[in-house]
């Protein structure tokens, strides 16, 4: 009879704990389905919450955590059932124990979501709050007579200062100096400050893969899931050109993942209250203290307004273009007429536009020009020049006057 009475509260507490864990299990199954649905194994480096990784090696760890939590709930419910805390009946004691265990597990989920800095800050704030409350209670004991009022005030001060210390320490934990604490935050540094957040345009462009393979960019390449979803949407488009661009972006991600020297990390961080993908990228960069890698001119401007560091691939390409000084001579193929009267327009091998005065008649022919000025803009470089009077400008040589000797 006693064993049957003991099993009933344990069974009810297990049902409560199972209902608590049903949502995380469903989330893990959805994450695993997402892994198998995307092409090329893009989510091989998925880093979701600890214990909910969609890769197979994290499944057993997740099940072990569930078993440990169920045993914890059952053990605390059984202890309360037999010891009758606060003089409560067996059923009420078991329910109190199960509820307390579930509250502890919920608190564990919240603590696991904190960074190491915030966790250290919360612990330090709580300890300081308790010490301050102890000193304040010494004053209350000397000022008030012993009794219920003094006891209530002391408990109130203890809870108040512990609560305030916990909140303030958690909110200000990011202000801790990692250098002053040695190597405690060493594992947190390379995944945050040296991370590079990639946007959709730079992934489709593909030059980021060449730059990373050449070793000119370090740190972890962070690709958020909402960028991955946008790439998949473009790859499934009915428009042929968009579909090719999306598939090219997925191929570039797979190419970088296959390189052992490049760290690519898929992160589930999202901001449901923000609809625009560009603004989500900026919020993620602020959260990770990372830089945004893009070749989008408008995103570059918006990022500077939000005080977010940006690495623009187009700026890098412009910096690598050869320097041209006024007075230098070069040969350019005139391809079309310019906006102004009698102008011709050509291009260098790197795509730099060259505007030549009085070159409209030389369209389709090579002309030797002399550089007059160079205009550097945020979108690129433009070279202005004029025809070289001493050079060959595509026109056939005209015969000079013939002197007749008699």
pLDDT tens digits, 163-173: 888 888 877 77
Domain 329-387 in this protein, CATH class: mainly beta
CA 315 to chain centre: 22
**Concatenated DSSP letters for 210-229?**
HHHHTT-S-SEEEEEHHHHH
| Cα 71 to Cα 14: distance, rounded to the nearest angstrom | 8
State pLDDT tens for residues 358-385: 888 889 999 999 999 988 776 667 899 9
Which class for 196: exposed (0-12), middle (13-18), buried (19 or more C-beta within 10 A)?
buried
The arithmetic mean of pLDDT across residues 230-242, rounded, is: 90
For residue 101, name the pLDDT band (cuts at 50, 70, 90): confident
* Contact present, 337 and 344 (Cβ < 8 Å): yes
Question: In the chain, what are the helix, strand and coil shares in percent, each to the nearest 5?
Answer: 55, 15, 30
The alpha-helical segments, DSSP class H, found in 148-276 are: 148-171, 200-205, 207-213, 225-235, 240-258
> Which among 372, 369, 374, 375 has a CA at the least distance from the CA of 394?
369
User: Across all residues in the chain, what is the average pLDDT?
Assistant: 76
Predicted local distance difference test score (pLDDT) of residue 48: 46
Predicted local distance difference test score (pLDDT) of residue 153: 83
| Cα 43 to Cα 250: distance, rounded to the nearest angstrom | 11
Specify the range with the lowest mean pLDDT, choosing from 95-104, 181-190, 331-340. 181-190
| Cα 215 to Cα 375: distance, rounded to the nearest angstrom | 31
Q: What percent of the chain has pLDDT over 70?
A: 74
In the predicted structure, residue 397 carries a pLDDT above the cut 60: no
The arithmetic mean of pLDDT across residues 144-167, rounded, is: 81
The arithmetic mean of pLDDT across residues 96-116, rounded, is: 79
Cβ partners under 8 Å of residue 268, min gap 6: 31, 46, 47, 48, 49, 224, 225
* Contact present, 161 and 136 (Cβ < 8 Å): yes
Q: What is the pTM of this model?
A: 0.46
| Cα 113 to Cα 269: distance, rounded to the nearest angstrom | 12
In the predicted structure, residue 356 carries a pLDDT above the cut 90: yes
| Cα 297 to Cα 135: distance, rounded to the nearest angstrom | 58
Q: Where are the domains of the chain?
A: 2-175, 196-319, 329-387
Predicted local distance difference test score (pLDDT) of residue 310: 92
State pLDDT tens for residues 46-77: 444 433 333 344 455 567 778 888 888 888 88
Contacts 24+ apart (CB under 8 A), 27-36: 27/52, 28/52, 28/54, 28/59, 28/62, 31/268
Rg (CA), the chain: 34
> Which among 33, 12, 11, 31 has a CA at the least distance from the CA of 23?
31
| Cα 190 to Cα 290: distance, rounded to the nearest angstrom | 10
SS3 259: coil
Predicted local distance difference test score (pLDDT) of residue 59: 52
DSSP 162: H
For residue 187, name the pLDDT band (cuts at 50, 70, 90): very low
For residue 333, name the pLDDT band (cuts at 50, 70, 90): very high
* Contact present, 356 and 386 (Cβ < 8 Å): yes
In the predicted structure, residue 256 carries a pLDDT above the cut 50: yes
State pLDDT tens for residues 284-306: 998 888 999 998 888 989 999 99
Beta strand pairing call for 291-294 and 310-312: parallel
More confident residue, 391 or 44: 391
Predicted local distance difference test score (pLDDT) of residue 346: 93
Q: Which overall architecture, per CATH, does domain 196-319 show?
A: 3-Layer(aba) Sandwich (3.40)
| Terminal CA-CA length for the chain | 145
């Amino acid at each position: 009879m006693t064993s049957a009475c003991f099993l009933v509260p344990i069974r009810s507490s297990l049902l409560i704990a199972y209902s608590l864990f049903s949502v995380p299990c469903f989330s893990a199954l959805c994450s695993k389905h997402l892994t198998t649905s995307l092409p090329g194994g893009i989510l091989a480096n998925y880093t979701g919450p600890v214990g909910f990784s969609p890769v197979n090696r994290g499944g057993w760890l997740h099940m072990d955590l569930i078993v440990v939590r169920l045993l914890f709930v059952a053990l605390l419910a059984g202890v309360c059932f037999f010891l009758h805390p606060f003089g409560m009946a067996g059923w009420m004691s078991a329910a109190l124990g199960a509820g307390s265990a579930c509250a502890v597990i919920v608190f564990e989920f919240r603590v696991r979501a904190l960074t190491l800095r915030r966790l250290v800050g919360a612990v330090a704030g709580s300890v300081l709050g308790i010490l301050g409350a102890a000193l304040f209670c010494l004053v209350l004991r000397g000022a008030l007579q012993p009794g219920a009022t003094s006891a209530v005030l002391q408990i109130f001060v203890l809870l108040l200062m512990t609560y305030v210390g916990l909140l303030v320490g958690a909110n200000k934990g990011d202000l801790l100096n990692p250098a002053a604490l040695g190597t405690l935050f060493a594992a947190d540094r390379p995944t945050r400050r040296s991370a590079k957040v990639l946007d959709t345009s730079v992934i489709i462009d593909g030059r980021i893969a060449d730059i990373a393979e050449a070793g000119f960019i370090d740190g972890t390449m962070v690709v958020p899931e909402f960028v991955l979803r946008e790439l998949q949407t473009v790859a499934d488009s009915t428009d042929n050109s968009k579909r090719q661009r999306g598939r090219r972006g997925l191929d570039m991600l797979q190419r970088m993942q296959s390189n052992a020297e490049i760290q690519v990390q898929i992160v589930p961080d999202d901001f449901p209250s923000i609809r625009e993908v560009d603004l989500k990228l900026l919020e993620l960069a602020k959260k990770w203290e990372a830089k945004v890698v893009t070749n989008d001119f408008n995103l570059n401007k918006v990022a500077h307004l939000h005080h977010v560091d940006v690495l623009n691939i187009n700026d890098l390409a412009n910096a690598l273009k050869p320097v041209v000084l006024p007075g230098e001579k070069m040969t350019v193929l005139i391809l079309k007429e310019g906006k102004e009267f009698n102008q011709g327009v050509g291009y260098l091998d790197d795509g730099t536009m060259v505007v030549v005065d009085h070159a409209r008649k030389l369209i389709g022919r090579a002309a030797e020009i002399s550089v007059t000025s160079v205009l550097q803009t945020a979108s690129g470089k433009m070279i202005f020049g004029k025809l070289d009077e001493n050079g060959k400008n595509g026109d056939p040589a005209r015969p000079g006057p013939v002197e007749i000797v008699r």
